[in-house]
Amino acid sequence: MSFLDFSFLDLIDILLVAFLLYQLYRLIKDTVAINVLIGVAAIYLVWKLVQALQMELLSEILGQFIGVGVIALVIVFQQEIRRFLLMIGSTNFTRRKALLRFWRIQGDDDTSLIDYSDLIKACGSMARSKIGALIVIEGDSKLGFYASTGTPIGAQISAGLLESIFAKNSPLHDGAVIVSGSKIVAAGCILPLTEKTNLPSRFGLRHRAALGISEKANALAIVVSEETGEISVVRNDHFQNKVSLDELKLALSDD
Ligand SMILES: Nc1ncnc2c1ncn2[C@@H]1O[C@H](COP(=O)(O)OP(=O)(O)OP(=O)(O)O)[C@@H](O)[C@H]1O
C-alpha cells in the first residue's frame, strides 16, 4: 500500500489507537505498571533492532520472550486491564444517567432523588469533631463483594447511625461504610488500597482505600480526615480535597 492510499478509515484507525494508548497511559501513569510497560517497550525495541542488524541468536532469544510476553503481560497487568474494561464500560455513565433523568425513565434507584441530607449532616459533624470516616456510595458497579467484608447493616441513612458507626470507641468504626441507594448496606468494610506511588505523604490508609475503590468500581468515596477534619471526595480516580458541605451536596447530586 502506498502512502497515497491513506484513507479516512486509516485516520480513524490511528486516532482510535492513539486514544486507547492515551487512556492506557492515564490508567497506569502513577503506578509501578508504567515501569513494567517501559521495560516491555524497551525489550521490544531492542528485539526489532537486533532483527534489523540480523543478530540471529539474540533476535531468537528475544523473539521467544516476546512470544510468551502477551500471556505474561495479561498476568502482570491484570488489575490495569480490569480497570480499563471497567472504564470503557462506564465512560458514559454520567451522561447516560442525565439522559435517563431527562426522559424520566430511570427506576427507583435514581440517586438524584435520594435525600443525602443526613449523610451530609453527619460528615459535617464528624469533620468538626475530627472523627475519621470513609463512606462509599455505590454507582452502577455493585459493591456487594466489598460489603461482604464488613458487618451488614441494611438501614436507612441517618446522621445518628453514621456518627455512631464512626465514633472512636464503636466496634465498627474501622473500615468503610458502603451506601447503596438510600441504605447503609454495611460497615467496617475493607476496601482495596490504591497502588499509586505519588500521593502526598499525609494521605494514609483511609485516603488510599478511598482512591483504591474509585479505581476498581464506579463509586463515589467520601473521606473525613481524623487528622485535619477535612472532607475529601474521590471519584473516577480523582481527589477533590477540602470540600465544603455545599460542594459535597453537589458531588452527591451529580452521582
Ligand atoms: N483497606 C481499608 N479499607 C477501609 N478502611 C481502611 C483500610 N485501611 C485502613 N482503613 C481505615 O483507615 C484508618 C487508618 O487511617 P489512616 O490514619 O492511615 O488514614 P489517613 O488517610 O491518614 O486518614 P486521617 O487523615 O483520617 O488520619 C483505619 O483505622 C481504618 O478505619
134 contact partners, CB below 8 Å, separation of at least 6: 175, 176, 177, 191, 206, 209, 210, 221, 222, 223, 224
- Residue 208: pLDDT band (50, 70, 90) is very high
| Model confidence pTM above 0.80 | no
**Atom from ligand 1 closest to the CA of residue 228:** 25
Nearest-CA residue for ligand 1 atom 6 is: 175
Mean pLDDT of 71-83: 77
Three-state DSSP class for 106?
Answer: coil
Nearest-CA residue for ligand 1 atom 4 is: 175
In the chain, CATH 3.40.1700.10 covers 100-253
Distance 225 CA to ligand 1 centre (A): 9
Of the segments 1-5, 23-27, 112-116, 201-205, which one has the largest average pLDDT value?
201-205
Q: Extract the C-alpha cell encoding 60.
A: 531468537
Cβ atoms of 188 and 151 closer than 8 Å: yes
- Residue 102: pLDDT band (50, 70, 90) is very low
Architecture in CATH for domain 100-253: 3-Layer(aba) Sandwich (3.40)
Q: Which residue has the higher pLDDT, 48 or 66?
A: 48
Task: Kindly state if the Cβ of 168 falls inside 6 Å of ligand 1.
Answer: no
Q: What is the ipTM of this complex?
A: 0.94
CA-wise closest residue to 117 among 239, 254, 252: 252
Task: Kindly state if the Cβ of 194 falls inside 6 Å of ligand 1.
Answer: no
Q: Extract the C-alpha cell encoding 24.
A: 492506557
**Rounded Cα gap, residues 142 and 155, in angstroms:** 18
**Rounded Cα gap, residues 133 and 63, in angstroms:** 51
Nearest-CA residue for ligand 1 atom 29 is: 174
Task: Kindly state if the Cβ of 209 falls inside 6 Å of ligand 1.
Answer: yes
Share of the chain above pLDDT 90, in %: 47
Task: Kindly state if the Cβ of 134 falls inside 6 Å of ligand 1.
Answer: yes
